[in-house]
């Protein structure tokens, strides 16, 4: 992680990073919390926050050894951020003494933490003196070792008894930047040549996937403004071809992309077919994101702001040939890219989300024409949001047939990783896919 060259005072970045971490603990997504940060602070704060979330379990375990009781929320967030950044010297973005000094300075300059500045100083100075022993004392703590909440680890141990450690290890690794080449405007080979000409190291994956070895601002990659590519994980790139491949007709299809924001899959559907696509989204701001993405790709869809579970308010009564239901979920499969998710989610979220997923399936299935398809997907690794959800749906819908589908794709990180289940790809987030066809009878 490179944040050393930022000329802004480190105490300001630490102070703001702690506020972002505290917001996530209180239920705000990391994306929203970082988007609210001042522009000049945002890059450094994002880098520090991502590092902190990937080491927060270890930091909390160390905090418990240093503090007799839980500090107030703002002070606790600042202490945990400092410990997450400092506990492993090899991986630390700054030297330990600088981090301690700047953390104390951040505490002194914030009314919410000023009273705890001496306490934080004492905790962190003790940590520097006793680092090896304190870290060793947390090594047997599963939350500290795997940097995920205890309930999350227990769920994976139960559902994936032979692979839970590999799944957690991949979740803690930084992923490559995955791109989707727009087949209407470029080819993978041609795009790789464009990248090579400007010195960007890249490799091809399956189909339209290209991986960059390091993250790069998208506008520095040739062809972004022209719509030659989009940023999209390899697992998410499976959705459009899965839904479209094998349909009797590819052109003139009537397609619904339910829960469509931010529009990545909408764009992919339009890149692969000349169908009539309706992109449905309940959030007006996210509707704007869909339009912005389609404008960049020079593609067009009917964007409808409405609740997918209430078709009486938006459906014209004409059945769809294909429906893509990328259902709201825990996002437990994308914590490589969004490490805040593991600390944002609560066990109770799973029951609420599976209820919503079931309602959307029940509501949208009647909108599929006989012989048409619905692709159900979630970016989740939990069985309740994948195979168990579909098994229940099939038991109650005799006119639905499950076609060959990827099922659960566990996250993987690079060619060197050992095979996890039967994944066909080498580097991707966790996803679940079920392709359902409506019987003609």
Q: What is the mean pLDDT of residues 417-437?
A: 71
Query: How far is it, in rounded angstroms, from Cα 247 to Cα 321?
Result: 9
Residue pointed to by tokens 């229940």: 392
Q: What pLDDT, on the 0 to 100 scale, is given for residue 5? A: 46
The residues spanned by each domain of the chain are: 10-144, 177-231, 236-438
Using the predicted structure, report yes or no on whether residue 419 has a pLDDT greater than 50. Answer: no
Query: How far is it, in rounded angstroms, from Cα 32 to Cα 371?
Result: 41
Q: How do 177-181 and 427-428 pair as beta strands? A: unpaired
pLDDT tier at 214, thresholds 50, 70, 90: confident
Is the domain spanning 236-438 CATH 3.10.420.10? The answer is no
CB 321 within 8 A of CB 372: yes
User: Among this protein's residues, is 379 annotated catalytic?
Assistant: yes
Is the domain spanning 177-231 CATH 3.30.70.1170? The answer is yes
Percent of the chain with pLDDT over 70: 94
CB atoms within 10 A of CB 46: 19
More confident residue, 418 or 122: 122
Query: How far is it, in rounded angstroms, from Cα 252 to Cα 95?
Result: 60
pLDDT digit string, tens, across residues 138-156: 999 999 999 999 999 999 9
Dihedrals phi, psi of 428, to nearest 5 degrees: -165, 165
Using the predicted structure, report yes or no on whether residue 120 has a pLDDT greater than 90. Answer: yes
Query: How far is it, in rounded angstroms, from Cα 44 to Cα 22?
Result: 17
Q: What is the mean pLDDT of residues 393-422?
A: 80
User: Of the CATH numbers 1.20.120.530, 3.40.50.10240, 1.10.940.10, 3.30.750.24, which one belongs to the domain with range 10-144?
Assistant: 1.10.940.10
Query: How far is it, in rounded angstroms, from Cα 35 to Cα 105?
Result: 24
- Rg of the chain, C-alpha, whole Å: 23
DSSP string of 383-415, one letter each residue: GGGTHHHHHHHHHH-TTEEEEEEEEEE--EEST
262 upstream amide cis, omega within 30 of 0: yes
CB 85 within 8 A of CB 92: yes
Query: How far is it, in rounded angstroms, from Cα 13 to Cα 94?
Result: 13
Q: What is the mean pLDDT of the chain?
A: 93
Strand partners, 210: 179, 204
Using the predicted structure, report yes or no on whether residue 17 has a pLDDT greater than 60. Answer: yes
pLDDT digit string, tens, across residues 296-350: 999 999 999 999 999 999 999 999 999 999 999 999 999 999 999 999 999 999 9
Contacting residues for 434 by C-beta, under 8 A, at least 6 apart: 375, 376, 377, 386, 387, 390, 402, 405, 407
Q: What pLDDT, on the 0 to 100 scale, is given for residue 440? A: 82
Q: What is the mean pLDDT of residues 211-216?
A: 88
Q: Which token pair is 58?
A: 């270890």
Residue 250 burial (C-beta neighbours within 10 Å; 0-12, 13-18, 19+): middle
Distances (CA, A) of 11 to 45, 351, 376: 11, 40, 46
- End-to-end, the C-alpha distance of the chain in Å comes to 57
Q: What pLDDT, on the 0 to 100 scale, is given for residue 248? A: 63
Q: What pLDDT, on the 0 to 100 scale, is given for residue 250? A: 57
Q: Which token pair is 306?
A: 């409405």
In eight-state DSSP terms, residue 272 is: H
Q: Which token pair is 381?
A: 């690794």
pLDDT digit string, tens, across residues 28-76: 999 999 999 999 999 999 999 999 999 999 999 999 999 999 999 999 9
Q: What pLDDT, on the 0 to 100 scale, is given for residue 251? A: 62
**Long-range interactions of 113-116: CB distance < 8 A, separation 24+:** 113/18, 113/72, 113/74, 113/75, 113/78, 116/71, 116/72, 116/75
Please identify which of the residues 287, 377, 379, 426 carries the catalytic annotation.
Answer: 379
Strand intervals (E) in 101-223: 177-181, 202-204, 209-212
Rounded (10°) CA dihedral 242, 243, 247, 252:
-130
Q: What is the largest CA-CA distance in the chain?
A: 74
Q: What pLDDT, on the 0 to 100 scale, is given for residue 421? A: 38
């Amino acid at each position: 992680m490179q944040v050393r060259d930022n000329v802004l005072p480190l105490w300001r970045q630490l102070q703001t990073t702690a506020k972002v971490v505290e917001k996530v603990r209180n239920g705000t997504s990391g994306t929203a919390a970082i988007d609210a940060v001042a522009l000049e602070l945002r890059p450094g704060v994002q880098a520090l926050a991502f590092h902190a979330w990937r080491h927060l379990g270890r930091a909390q375990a160390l905090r418990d050894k240093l503090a007799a009781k839980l500090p107030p929320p703002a002070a606790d967030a600042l202490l945990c951020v400092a410990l997450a950044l400092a506990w492993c010297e090899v991986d630390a973005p700054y030297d330990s003494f600088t981090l301690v000094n700047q953390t104390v300075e951040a505490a002194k300059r914030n009314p919410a933490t000023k009273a705890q500045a001496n306490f934080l100083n004492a905790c962190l100075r003790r940590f520097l003196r006793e680092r090896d022993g304190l870290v060793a004392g947390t090594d047997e703590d599963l939350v500290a070792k795997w940097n995920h909440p205890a309930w999350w680890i227990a769920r994976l141990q139960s559902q994936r008894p032979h692979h839970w450690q590999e799944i957690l290890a991949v979740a803690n690794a930084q992923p490559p930047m995955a791109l989707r080449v727009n087949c209407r405007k470029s080819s993978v080979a041609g795009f790789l040549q464009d990248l090579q000409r400007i010195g960007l190291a890249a490799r091809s994956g399956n189909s339209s996937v290209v991986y960059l070895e390091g993250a790069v601002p998208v506008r520095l990659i040739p062809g972004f403004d022209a719509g030659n590519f989009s940023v999209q994980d390899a697992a998410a790139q499976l959705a459009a071809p899965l839904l479209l491949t094998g349909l009797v007709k590819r052109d003139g299809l009537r397609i619904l992309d339910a829960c469509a924001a931010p529009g990545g899959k909408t764009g992919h559907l339009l890149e692969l077919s000349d169908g009539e696509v309706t992109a449905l989204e309940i959030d007006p701001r996210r509707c704007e994101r869909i339009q912005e993405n389609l404008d960049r790709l020079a593609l067009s869809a009917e964007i409808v702001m409405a609740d997918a579970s209430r078709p009486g308010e938006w459906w014209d009564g004409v059945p769809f040939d294909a429906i893509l239901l990328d259902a709201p979920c825990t996002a437990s499969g994308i914590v490589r890219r969004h490490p805040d998710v593991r600390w944002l989610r609560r066990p109770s979220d799973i029951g609420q989300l599976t209820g919503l997923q079931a309602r959307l399936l029940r509501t949208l299935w009647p909108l599929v024409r006989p012989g048409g398809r619905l692709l159900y997907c979630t970016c989740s690794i939990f069985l309740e949001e994948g195979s168990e959800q579909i098994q229940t749906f099939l038991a109650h819908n005799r006119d639905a047939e499950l076609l060959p589908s990827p099922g659960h794709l566990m996250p993987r990180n690079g060619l060197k990783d050992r095979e996890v289940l039967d994944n066909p790809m080498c580097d991707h987030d966790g996803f679940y896919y079920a392709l359902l066809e409506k019987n003609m009878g």
